[in-house]
Structure 1
Amino acid sequence: MDSTQRIRAILSFVRAADTGSFAAAARSLDISSAAVSKNVASLERALGVRLMNRTTRTLTLTSEGTAFLKQARIALSALDAAVDSVAARRVEPSGRVRISTSAAFGRDQLMPALPGLLARHPALSFEVDFDDRRIDLVQEGYDMALRGGQILDSALVSRPVCRLNMALVAAPAYLERHGVPRSVADLMQHRLIARRFLGGRISAWAFRGPEGSIESFEPEAAVVTVSAPEASVQAALSGLGIAQVGVHHAWPHLQVGALKVVLGDCHHPGTYEMALQYPHRALLAPRVRATIEFLLDAFVRDEALHVPLDALRAYLA
């Protein structure tokens, strides 16, 4: 297999792994499904191992295929970088960029970054969907997504944005009326604000236990249950009770004294993170690459996204 055939075969394999079928890979590469199947089979013969198990409906990577896919992505990314480094010098990024983001992060972090991005690249335009559901970037035609939570390994490129640390907060007026909790057990005597995920599960609160253990607390008897993180902040600001919220949501309200941190000495900030994700592509369009790099730089400079946990001590009740 010469170099040209090898690259064609690797592209077919990676695209089939990303899309889950030879037919979908063929459409994205503008070749026939049979050509994709032939390319992958040729690659397997050249390597001497099976990379995919095929059925009439699904493709499943073998362990060798998973290992090869990881290295193939690195190689294709290097080729992308080489091409884009030349193209970027002669082509002004232009065209529409489709972005999926949560409502809260889109409003507070993404939208404020767009004016600077458009000032730098005026030929760009954006279609932004504010949707907390988990979407399929490839199947639904998005260029990128901003996702928060526990980011799982996937066929997408994930660029870290920040840790999404959590804190327990309440309004000073609420704490004056009901007192400041000093232990997890005290929470049973307080009004709690819970968050329900889209799947129906209530978000648990985590606390540091003895010898480094993590103990879970379920705010089951909540006075208010909401589905949006920004609604948890609003409920706390209104004095309805104690809420677990993202530090980046609470930060401006902590700074002006509208919220106070409670149980900061034992509450665990969680393991959530925010990532910018996009599909692996052989040629990442200049419009997409320019958007990714600008947004990542803007998010690095967003103070609310990078509040040190030690800084919360100044706002303890």
Structure 2
Amino acid sequence: MDSSQRVRAIVSFIQAVDAGSFAAAGRVLGLTSAAISKNVASLEKSLGVRLMNRTTRSLTLTSEGEGFLRQARIALEALDSAVDMIAARRAVPSGKVRISTSAAFGNDHLLPALPALLARYPALSIEVDFDDRIVDIVKEGYDIVIRGGSIADSALVSRPVCKLNAVLIASPEYLEAHGTPKKPSDLNNHRLIARRFLGGRVSPWIFKAADGALTTLDPTDVAVLTLSGPEALVQAARDHVGIAQVGVHLAWEHLRNGSLKVLLHEQHQPGSYEMVMQYPHRALMAPRGQVTVDHLLAAFSGDENLHVTIESLGAYAV
């Protein structure tokens, strides 16, 4: 199989997977169902493995097919980017950049960074989805995702944005009414606000004793309120409902204005999570994507709310 045949076969394979059938892939590519089937069969023969199992009603990828599909998409992205690079020599970065991020981070940190980007590159258009679920960046057609945590995926580049240090917070009014916990065990007698992630997992609270031993508290054991949105936890704490664990970047403004206080500062562990920006591996990234990544990373690095040190929180502790 020569290079041109291989490319046609790979395109047929990817389109068949995306469309769900050889017939549907043929309609998209302007080929017959038989031609798509022949191309995929030739590709499998040249590779010496079966990429998909066929029935009259469905196509199912084999494990080899799933791995090949991932790498094939990267290869086609590289070809598209090569074309974009040539075009970029004659034009400024242009086109749509699709971004997925959480509602909290998007509203507080991404949106404020976009006006300067659009002013600098007026031919760009930005589409942002505020979605707390984990998206399939390649299959769903996103250029960039910004998420808490580091998602292991060999097809994605991860660029660190900031550490996601956690902190325990409560309002002064709540503490005046219910008292201030002095040790982790005191929390069992308080009104706690828990966070449950969309997948069902509850965010634990971790503490370090003087001897270095770690203890974990499941806040749902005594929680009076369980929420999925991190910004909602901050609001509930500000409304004097109880004690919550949130990311420092979400609470920083309210700590500075005195509407929230830090609890158990010396004992509570901030965790090891981080916010990352992710995008597909590309030999040559499209100019529209590259300037967006560069601009956002620079904007986030200068956003003081994202880089509050644990040491500085001592001034707001009770």
2:295 matched residue in structure 1: 294
- CA positional deviation for 1:191: 1.7
Taking the TM superposition and a 5 Å limit, the aligned residue runs for 1:1-317 are 1-13=1-13, 19=18, 21=20, 26=25, 30=29, 32=31, 35-54=35-54, 56-62=57-63, 64-65=64-65, 68=68, 72=72, 75-76=75-76, 79=79, 82-135=82-135, 142-149=142-149, 151=151, 153=153, 158-198=158-198, 202-208=202-208, 215-278=216-279, 286-317=287-318
CA contact (8 A) 2:85 2:287 kept: no
Amino acid paired to 1:224: L
Unaligned runs of 5+ in 2: none
Quick one: structure 1 residues 71 and 138, their matched pair in 2 at CA, closer, same or farther if it must change by over 3 Å? closer
CA contact (8 A) 2:181 2:263 kept: yes
User: Which whole-Å CA distance do the structure 1 matches of 2:10 and 2:237 have between them?
Assistant: 52
Deviations 1:110-137 (A, max 9, x none): 1101101111111223333333344555
User: Which whole-Å CA distance do the structure 2 matches of 1:28 and 1:295 have between them?
Assistant: 39
Q: Secondary structure at the match of 1:219?
A: helix
Amino acid paired to 2:48: G
User: Which whole-Å CA distance do the structure 2 matches of 1:189 and 1:28 have between them?
Assistant: 65
Q: TM-score, structure 1 length as denominator?
A: 0.77
User: Which whole-Å CA distance do the structure 2 matches of 1:67 and 1:61 have between them?
Assistant: 9
Q: Secondary structure at the match of 2:41?
A: helix
- CA positional deviation for 1:90: 1.7
Which structure has the bigger radius of gyration? Answer: 2
User: Which deviates further from its counterpart, 131-140 or 303-312?
Assistant: 131-140
Q: Secondary structure at the match of 1:167?
A: strand
Q: Secondary structure at the match of 1:268?
A: coil
Amino acid paired to 2:256: Q
Amino acid paired to 1:122: P
User: Which deviates further from its counterpart, 298-307 or 144-153?
Assistant: 144-153
Q: Secondary structure at the match of 2:151?
A: coil
- CA positional deviation for 1:310: 4.0
CA contact (8 A) 2:19 2:25 kept: no
- CA positional deviation for 1:37: 4.4
CA RMSD, Structure 1 to Structure 2 (Å)? 3.9
Quick one: structure 1 residues 131 and 14, their matched pair in 2 at CA, closer, same or farther if it must change by over 3 Å? same
Quick one: structure 1 residues 26 and 272, their matched pair in 2 at CA, closer, same or farther if it must change by over 3 Å? farther
Q: Secondary structure at the match of 1:267?
A: coil
CA contact (8 A) 2:170 2:262 kept: yes
User: Which deviates further from its counterpart, 107-116 or 74-83?
Assistant: 74-83
Deviations 1:34-86 (A, max 9, x none): 55544443333223233444554343342x45555565566556545544443
CA contact (8 A) 2:192 2:224 kept: yes
Q: What is the number of residues matched between the two proteins?
A: 315
Quick one: structure 1 residues 88 and 242, their matched pair in 2 at CA, closer, same or farther if it must change by over 3 Å? same
CA contact (8 A) 1:163 1:274 kept: yes
- CA positional deviation for 1:231: 1.6
Quick one: structure 1 residues 198 and 67, their matched pair in 2 at CA, closer, same or farther if it must change by over 3 Å? closer
CA contact (8 A) 2:74 2:155 kept: no
User: Which whole-Å CA distance do the structure 1 matches of 2:37 and 2:157 have between them?
Assistant: 24
Amino acid paired to 2:115: P
Unaligned runs of 5+ in 1: none
User: Which whole-Å CA distance do the structure 1 matches of 2:274 and 2:47 have between them?
Assistant: 37
User: Which whole-Å CA distance do the structure 2 matches of 1:133 and 1:196 have between them?
Assistant: 13
CA contact (8 A) 2:52 2:59 kept: no
- CA positional deviation for 1:95: 3.5
Q: Secondary structure at the match of 2:223?
A: coil
Amino acid paired to 2:303: D
Q: Secondary structure at the match of 1:50?
A: coil
Q: Secondary structure at the match of 1:125?
A: strand
- CA positional deviation for 1:208: 4.6
Percent identity among equivalent residues?
61
